[in-house]
Amino acid sequence: MNGQYASLLIALPLISAFFVPLIKGLGKKAVKYYLVLITALQTGIAAWVFQEVYTTGKPIIVMAGAWRPPVGINLYIGHFAALFVLIVAVVSFLMAVFSIRAISVDPIDKYAMLFLLVMLGATGMIATGDIFNLFVFMEITAISAYALTAYNKTGEAAEASIKYIILGGIGSSFFLIGIALIYGSLGTLNMAQIAQLAGGMDATVAQVGLALIVFGLAVEAELFPLNAWAPDAYQAAPHPITAMFSAFVVKAGLYALARILYLMQAVSSWHSVLKLLIIMATLTVFVAEFAALRQKNVKRMIAYSSIAQIGLIGLAFALGTQSGVDAGVFHMVNHAIVKALLFLAVGHVAVSLGGAEMEKFEGLGKRMPLTAFAITVGAIAAVGIPLFNVFWSKLRILLATLGAGYSWAAAVVLIASVVEAVYYFRLIHTMWFAGEGERISEGLAVSLMLLFLAALVIVIGVYPDYAWSIAQKAGNDIFNVADYIKNVPLMGVGA
Amino acid sequence: MISAYYFGAISLILIGLYAILVKKNVLKMLIGLSIMETGVNLLLVSVGYISGRSAPILSEGIGPNQAVDPIPQALVLTAIVIGVATTAMALSVAMIIYEKYGTLNVEEIRRLRG
Amino acid sequence: MLKRALAIITLLIIGYWLAQGLAGVPFGEDRMLVAQYYLDHVKEQTGAVNTVTAVVVNYRGFDTLGEVTVLFIASTGVGALLWRKKRERTAKTEGSIVLTTGTRLLAPFIMLFGAYIFIHGHLTPGGGFPGGATIATAFLLLYMAFTVYEIPHKTFEKVEGAVGMAYVLVGLIGLAIGGYFLYDWIWQDWGFGVDNVGRLLSGGFIPVIYTIIGLKVGTELSGIIDNMLKEEVSE
Amino acid sequence: MINELMIILFAPLIAGVVAWALDIKGIREAIGIIGAAIPLAYLVKLYPTIIENPIDYSITVSGFTLQFQLNTMSWYFAAVASLVGLAMAFGMAVTSRESYDWLFALMSFTGVLGVFLSQDFVGFFLLWELMTFASFMMVLRRNRHESLKYFVLSVIGAYAMLIAIGMLYAKTGALDFASIRQVLYMDAAMGTITTRETAIIFGLFLTAFGVKAGAVPLHVWAPGAYSETDQSYTAFFSGALSKAGAYGFLLLYILMGYKLYAAFGTFHNHLTFAYIIAWIGAITVVVASFLAVLQEDIRKLFAYSSVGQVGYILLAFGLGSTLGFAGGLFHVLSHAIFKGLFWLVTAAIILQTGKTQFKDMGGLAEKMPFTFAMGLIAVLSLAGIPPMAGFASKWLIYEAAISAHMPLVAGAIFLGSALAFAYVVRFLYAVWFGQRPSDLEDVKEAPLPLLIAMALLAIPNLVFGVAPGLVTQYINKILGGEVVGGDYYKLVTPTGTYNALLVTIALVIGLAIAGLVYIYGAKTRKIPVTNTYQSGNPVTEEFNLSIRRNFYKPLAEALEFWLKYSWDRFYERVAGMAEDFADSLRQAFYNGNVQSYSWYLAIVLLILALWGVL
Amino acid sequence: MNCMACIEYIIIGTMIISAILAVEWRDLLAATVGMAAVSLFASLLFFMLQAPDVAMTEAAIGAALSGAIFIFAIKRTQRFETEEEEKPGWWVRW
């Protein structure tokens, strides 16, 4: 099959989102099942792309309108993008199934559209090979995220959304200034060509441009202190959406950050940007873990934990070494699984019991044993206990950090990890050993999803080889810029 | 010496940011955001300007070497639309906030914190 | 006051920094790289005269698809957020006589003008976005002039969805015919209007897409206006 | 290929998971015991060949090569752990009624074995974490506060180790012990790793292993964690798990000894770094023994006693001489068996009476004679009375301390022994003899599996006590030389000789004479048993000392000044401060005002700008 | 300095002034008008920068429509910025 059909990854969610208004007359149920169907189809396409990329070992370059790269916009679906597009699709599928149960606020048809467009935006951000197109997809993701954050139409939801909008707006404006500078200096927007020409850029322009782009993306990627919107948005968004935020929306921003960072390697101020990012990422981990410590709302607590883990990934990416990037990608995969599991389970509890406050979790082991078990698995994994997947990636990241000579960063991260262990284990204790309650029904579909994700956590924890080899290839895709430039069939325009 | 257009664009960006940093009314902050976006658009177009050339419409005897850079203009078209989309979203959110909180003062819109 | 002073100082430093960066991108100089390629080849490759349009719709069609999506999200999002069980317009006062008569007279022409703008996008300045916005302005006028006026928003929503799908379908037809998403099969394969460059019937699928965009933008923006003007009424 | 090592390692874990998943009463106990027995069986089977042919096993997991090796030393440690583990499994068959316990107990069993068998740092760290986590979960179930204290300290230790590992990795580029050892050996001459870095790595490792071994001042988790779990499991927890810390110190010698020597030199003809370890051990012995004496709760008493006894091991390793190592290694075994036995006895008492305080006990010897006999063996062994295993090992350590010319340290050993005698005497009398509280009248003997478990640990106490040469000859093989001479019954060191058989014979003859006197001698008459022991003080309501209540209160009063300072309270305060800090941090930073948040963005931009401008 | 430059400077100056006014006016309706004015002047500048497409779009969307939706939002909420006494702690007021 022609590699160009990978553009269906973009086309399918779009056309399906546009189709929703035409079928909304069929009723709420129909829209929800339609959503499940489309995400399943998307998963199928993503799986095909994944298989294609990993068997041939060659990236798929989708050229829109048959224009070769610097002239037209291309999608670069390399090892990383193929992997992450699959994760995006799978998580979306799971959350679409969860939405059937979790979403009761009207209007469902609008929810379905926004849901599909968030998925589209993240897919596009990961796949695109053009820096302005990246901005467009980032805005698609962000604006649908704004809308979905406020979807519940409560005061809190609106509040979280306005915070997100204002901070995201500032971030994207400055990102655009960065693009303007880089375009003004190089005359191209294609990422491969930027990478090719970056060395010859005017040093000041390169420094300001890179700094602004990093700043803009760091807002999306939730690095401290630009992450203040994140816990609110996570807490107020509908439960399936929170899982999606944590599992791939943020990661798309983080990936874009890493990608652009490594493309601009030749820029002279590159190392100072890395240093700054390391400081920010380390602080992210530290502050977020401490903020989660005495949290009363479990969803918010896990949101903070998610932010901290994102900081850890950011740290890995900012190290500027191959091992760091590999570890970061591995952690991204693991974190996506674990946080999807945790947010799914916590959302499930909140839907069933009417809230995510700590008191609701007392005696959960007796009331909803399977869900409690899933949360336990997720929590233990997040802490980084051996035989669970996060252990491996955390270990990798720390070894890479120490290997790059940032012992202080590793020490700070580990102190924060201790704090993380404390609040997660308090949660586990609350669930299993405090309080009593009647057993209530847990629902087949959600139970199956929880078991699937928990099994994935343990399987990767016990047998990490396959996941690690994939992560290595994906990490190489980000780190090895020379290959990236070589793989994009650049036309000889100007270069 | 910096060009007047750059100066204007940067001024707009800074004034917009100033509104966000100082004004407490949500709508005012959104006005600031909007001004900032206008500034960014102006900056982008100025970056693409080439002195003494005309608009990139190649009809009336204007050859390929007599037109300004079309790409930033294309980008700005997109950016304007994105800007208005963001504004519309933000305003409807602000309307809900006013409905639920009865105020638009950011110091009182603080139910989510800590 | 301290806060203002600090804000101003902070902003001045940031501004100085930006200006310093911009000093490396001197104003008014020719630094075109890819753009020069566009200018050189636009006529034979896309059949459009307006290079900006060609770039927007054809060369960087993906961006535009995204842009349309963004607007679609905004309209959907506003619709989702301001959705209530039952909503109506609550305006009390009719517009002044000047406004009402003027609107009656002008609204069709404004719409026509909007249509003109987007159909001629590949020839003259303008295109789908300003055209669509102009159409929306007509509806805006109608809303302001008459207290009871309402767009048929169900139909509008359907149109919105349908034209969006049409856009993607145009892209997919390109994929089917030429093997590339958003491939301009009208111009490249059929060679439709090759002799016509600079006149209306040229430009490959640009007019088609701009029509789609114009309709879409028009309906979406009017939808946003409609949503923002209606208030919840208790039954 | 299925290797014996893999079976040894993972049999307990798999059995635990199966037992947990099945959760059928009876079957889960059987599976658990089988799973715990497999490692011991294999180790026994492999014993004849192990000295000549170490067994290697390595697997590659996610790019890391995990290497395991069963050599003379790891066999020794693994065998000790397996013995205690099997006893634990028998004990748990009675005392534990939850599949939860089985899962985590057996998981920690795997962790301990893995720590002993690992030959590279990734596997070592992985299994170390697994062991910590599993033992933590055992405690979490019963007491959240104590378990978190344990976990936080352990994890701080583990992460300290991780940083040290990472630093070593960054310096040497290797993670397996053999290469690290070689590189550090070479480096001792070249000195590319500076003294400061060496000191940091050493300090981090010291923290890591010190926590697990319960060295003062990192011991505070031990009393709570040991007492707030299933007591059969504590037998393993204290008997085998804490040995992982001791093993770590040994590892430190093996891997870094020469480098540390080159970096720090000597102090009073004694390796400086070893000197530090020795003193940590000595302080631990003294402090823990004093605290043990003052406890009113059986579990707390033995918890502190465990800390003190592991202190002996550290002290012995810190002497730095081969004799010291021999003593330490022997004490690893003897502490495991006598302390394991103690905990099982405690488990039996708690199971049958439901009481843990001395004041509720008394006169149980008649009701639980077998348990009493086992307790007596444990007491004798702990107090260092021949012919028990405990005496032999303590004697070796003492000899080593003397020949290393460290009289102060030797004094600590003496003091520790005396204090140990003080607390075991109280245990012996208060629990087994004297007046029996009326609610203990219908106490029965412990169930059979628990008795088997006790016997399993009591027999080695006697055997290795009478024939200590069995152990020392194996230790000679580990250390690769004739460190402790003599035959099976006789130990010969440069400064002394101990003939266990002779002592035993003398003892038996003495006991026989005493028995004859008891039977045929003076007429016995029955008198009511009352508390007659009042420490020479008048009995008042406030100052009512009996062997069961505040027996050592005068000592506590004498030590009042020192008891004011408690590491435990210090850590609690630090933790409280951390939580308050966390609260104020998030309240101040995430204050909910979007304008403040925008300021953060502006400040970041400002930093970027200043960094660009300057 | 030729005349073209004069016009440029005047437009830019007016634009900046209207931006400042838009930010400083307490009447939000007026501020919105100020914002629309900024957009209009910007669209003039776009025209002078040889970007007629952008100028049209900015005038139609940036000035007219955003202004309109701002006004609708103000109608649904409140027209004036209120002077509030400052209640929360200093770090929040910031």
Q: Of E40, E7, A203, A177, whose CA–CA distance to B4 is shortest?
A: E7
pLDDT of residue A211 exceeding 80, the answer is yes
The DSSP output letter for A450 is H
Are the beta carbons of E82 and B85 closer than 8 angstroms? no
Cross-chain residue pair E94–D592, CB shorter than 8 Å: no
Residue with tokens 């130990």: D491
Cross-chain residue pair B3–C28, CB shorter than 8 Å: yes
Residues of B in contact with C12 (CB under 8 A): 14
Chain E nearest-CA residue for D584: E91
Cross-chain residue pair D596–E88, CB shorter than 8 Å: no
**3-state helix/strand/coil string of E23-83:** HHCCEHHHHHHHHHHHHHHHHHHHHHCCCHHHHHHHHHHHHHHHHHHHHHHHHHCCCECCC
Are the beta carbons of A299 and A350 closer than 8 angstroms? yes
Q: Is the peptide bond before D217 cis (omega within 30 degrees of 0)?
A: yes
Are the beta carbons of D273 and D200 closer than 8 angstroms? no
- Number of folded domains in chain E? 1
Chain B nearest-CA residue for D598: B21
| pLDDT tier for residue D244 given thresholds of 50, 70 and 90 | confident
Amino acid at D523: K
Residues of chain D whose C-beta is under 8 A from some C-beta in B? 586-587, 590-595, 598-599, 602
| pLDDT tier for residue D351 given thresholds of 50, 70 and 90 | confident
Q: Which residue among B29, B43, B100 sits closest to A166, beta carbon to beta carbon?
A: B29
The pTM of this model reads 0.91
- Mean pLDDT, rounded, of chain D: 82
CA distance D78 to D82: 6
**Domain boundaries, position E28:** 14-79
Is E90 in CB contact (< 8 Å) with chain D?
no
Q: What is the average per-residue pLDDT within C161-186?
A: 83
Q: Which residue among D167, D592, D612 sits closest to A211, beta carbon to beta carbon?
A: D612
**Domain boundaries, position C30:** 2-232
E90 or C178: whose pLDDT is higher? C178
CA distance D486 to C66: 87
Q: DSSP for D110-159, please give it.
A: HHHHHHHHB-BHHHHHHHHHHHHHHHHHHHHTT-HHHHHHHHHHHHHHHH
At how many degrees (to 10) do helices A298-318 and A389-403 cross? 40
Are the beta carbons of E60 and E66 closer than 8 angstroms? no
What residues have CB less than 8 Å from D378, skipping those under 6 apart? D338, D339, D341, D342, D345, D458, D461
Q: Which residue among C7, C11, C16 sits closest to D613, beta carbon to beta carbon?
A: C16
Is A462 in CB contact (< 8 Å) with chain C?
no
Chain C nearest-CA residue for E63: C133
CA distance D327 to D317: 8
Does residue E29 sit within a domain?
A: yes
CA distance D139 to D227: 9
Are the beta carbons of A4 and C178 closer than 8 angstroms? no
Is C24 in CB contact (< 8 Å) with chain A?
yes
pLDDT value at residue D528: 58
Chain A nearest-CA residue for C33: A187
Cross-chain residue pair D140–A174, CB shorter than 8 Å: no
pLDDT of residue A1 exceeding 60, the answer is no
Amino acid at A308: A
Interface probe for B, chosen from C33, C44, C52, C58 (most Cβ of B below 10 Å), is C52
pLDDT value at residue A228: 85
Amino acid at D271: L
pLDDT value at residue E1: 54
For residue range D102-128, list pLDDT tens digits in order. 888 888 888 888 888 888 888 888 888
pLDDT value at residue D613: 60
Alpha carbon of residue E58 to chain centroid: 12
Q: Measure B37 CA to nearest chain A CA, in Å.
A: 6
CATH fold, domain B4-51+65-101, is Helix Hairpins (1.10.287)
| pLDDT tier for residue C142 given thresholds of 50, 70 and 90 | confident
**3-state helix/strand/coil string of D70-117:** ECHHHHHHHHHHHHHHHHHHHHHHHHCCCHHHHHHHHHHHHHHHHHHH
CA dihedral E61, E65, E67, E72 (to 10 degrees): -160
- Number of folded domains in chain C? 1
Q: Is the peptide bond before A369 cis (omega within 30 degrees of 0)?
A: no
Are the beta carbons of D389 and D337 closer than 8 angstroms? yes
Is E87 in CB contact (< 8 Å) with chain B?
yes
Q: What is the average per-residue pLDDT within D331-349?
A: 87
pLDDT of residue D413 exceeding 70, the answer is yes
Cross-chain residue pair D595–B114, CB shorter than 8 Å: no
Q: What is the average per-residue pLDDT within D147-163?
A: 86
Q: Measure E68 CA to nearest chain B CA, in Å.
A: 10
Residue with tokens 């980000």: A478
Cross-chain residue pair C17–D609, CB shorter than 8 Å: yes
For residue range C38-54, list pLDDT tens digits in order. 888 877 777 778 888 88
Q: Taking phi first (over 0 means left), then psi (-120 to 50 degrees means alpha), and beta for anything else, what does residue B100 get?
A: alpha
Determine phi and psi for A78, rounding to 5 degrees: -90, -160
Chains with 3 or more CB pairs closer than 8 angstroms to B? Answer: A, C, D, E
Q: Measure D181 CA to nearest chain E CA, in Å.
A: 54
Q: Which residue among C53, C137, C228 sits closest to E73, beta carbon to beta carbon?
A: C228
Put simply, the chain B residues between 18 and 77 with a CB less than 8 A from any chain D CB are: 20-21, 24, 29
Q: What is the average per-residue pLDDT within E53-74?
A: 85
Q: Measure B44 CA to nearest chain A CA, in Å.
A: 5
Q: Collapsing DSSP states into helix, strand and coil, what is residue D68?
A: strand
Q: Which residue among C37, C72, C180 sits closest to A71, beta carbon to beta carbon?
A: C37
| pLDDT tier for residue A224 given thresholds of 50, 70 and 90 | confident
Are the beta carbons of E50 and B49 closer than 8 angstroms? yes
For residue range E5-46, list pLDDT tens digits in order. 788 888 888 888 888 888 888 888 888 888 888 888 888 888
CA R_g for chain E: 17
pLDDT of residue C84 exceeding 80, the answer is no
Residues of chain C whose C-beta is under 8 A from some C-beta in E? 3, 50, 52-53, 117, 125-127, 129-130, 133-134, 136-137, 140, 221, 224-225, 228-229, 231
Q: What is the average per-residue pLDDT within A180-193?
A: 86
**Tokens in use for D283?**
């302080």
**3-state helix/strand/coil string of D545-557:** CECCECCCHHHHH
D521 or B96: whose pLDDT is higher? B96
Alpha helices in A187-249 (DSSP H): 191-197, 203-220, 229-236, 239-244
* DSSP β-ladder status, D55-61 and C230-232: unpaired
Of A59-68, A232-241, C140-149, give the range with the top mean pLDDT.
Answer: A232-241
| pLDDT tier for residue B73 given thresholds of 50, 70 and 90 | confident
Q: Could you tell me what percent of chain A has a pLDDT over 90?
A: 2
Q: Could you tell me what percent of chain A has a pLDDT over 70?
A: 99
Cross-chain residue pair A133–C34, CB shorter than 8 Å: no
Q: What is the average per-residue pLDDT within D467-489?
A: 80
Is B104 in CB contact (< 8 Å) with chain E?
yes
pLDDT of residue A64 exceeding 50, the answer is yes
Q: Of D303, D276, D262, D264, whose CA–CA distance to D209 is shortest?
A: D276
Does residue E88 sit within a domain?
A: no
Cross-chain residue pair E19–B23, CB shorter than 8 Å: no
Q: DSSP for A251-300, please give it.
A: HHHHHHHHHHHHHTTTSTTHHHHHHHHHHHHHHHHHHHHHHHTT-SBHHH
Chains with 3 or more CB pairs closer than 8 angstroms to C? Answer: A, B, D, E
Cross-chain residue pair A133–C63, CB shorter than 8 Å: yes
pLDDT value at residue D534: 52
- Mean pLDDT, rounded, of chain A: 86
pLDDT of residue C190 exceeding 80, the answer is no
Determine phi and psi for B47, rounding to 5 degrees: -60, -35
CA distance D386 to D499: 10
pLDDT value at residue A493: 63
Q: Between vectors from CA D292 to CA D286 and to CA D293, what angle results, nearest 5°?
A: 95
Is D593 in CB contact (< 8 Å) with chain E?
yes
Q: Measure C32 CA to nearest chain A CA, in Å.
A: 5
Is B108 in CB contact (< 8 Å) with chain D?
no
Chain A nearest-CA residue for D122: A395
Q: What is the average per-residue pLDDT within A458-462?
A: 86
Q: Measure E91 CA to nearest chain D CA, in Å.
A: 7
pLDDT of residue A287 exceeding 80, the answer is yes
CA distance A488 to A61: 7
pLDDT of residue C95 exceeding 80, the answer is no
Chains with 3 or more CB pairs closer than 8 angstroms to D? Answer: A, B, C, E
Amino acid at D262: A
pLDDT value at residue D614: 57
Is A189 in CB contact (< 8 Å) with chain C?
yes
Q: Of C43, C110, C63, whose CA–CA distance to C209 is shortest?
A: C63
User: Of A439-448, B32-41, D433-442, which gets the smallest average pLDDT?
Assistant: D433-442
| pLDDT tier for residue A495 given thresholds of 50, 70 and 90 | very low
Check the CA dihedral B60-B63-B69-B70 and report its sign: positive
Is D495 in CB contact (< 8 Å) with chain E?
no
The DSSP output letter for B52 is T
Cross-chain residue pair A428–D140, CB shorter than 8 Å: yes
Residues of D in contact with C11 (CB under 8 A): 602
For residue range A476-491, list pLDDT tens digits in order. 888 888 888 888 887 7
Chain A nearest-CA residue for C70: A140
Put simply, the chain C residues between 77 and 136 with a CB less than 8 A from any chain A CB are: 77, 79-81, 83
Chain A nearest-CA residue for D589: A228
Q: Do chains E and A touch (3 or more CB pairs under 8 A)?
A: no
Alpha carbon of residue D297 to chain centroid: 19
CA distance D580 to A290: 10
Does residue E39 sit within a domain?
A: yes
Q: Which residue among A65, A70, A144 sits closest to C34, beta carbon to beta carbon?
A: A70
pLDDT of residue E2 exceeding 80, the answer is no
pLDDT of residue B1 exceeding 70, the answer is no
Residues of C in contact with B67 (CB under 8 A): 39, 51
| pLDDT tier for residue D524 given thresholds of 50, 70 and 90 | low
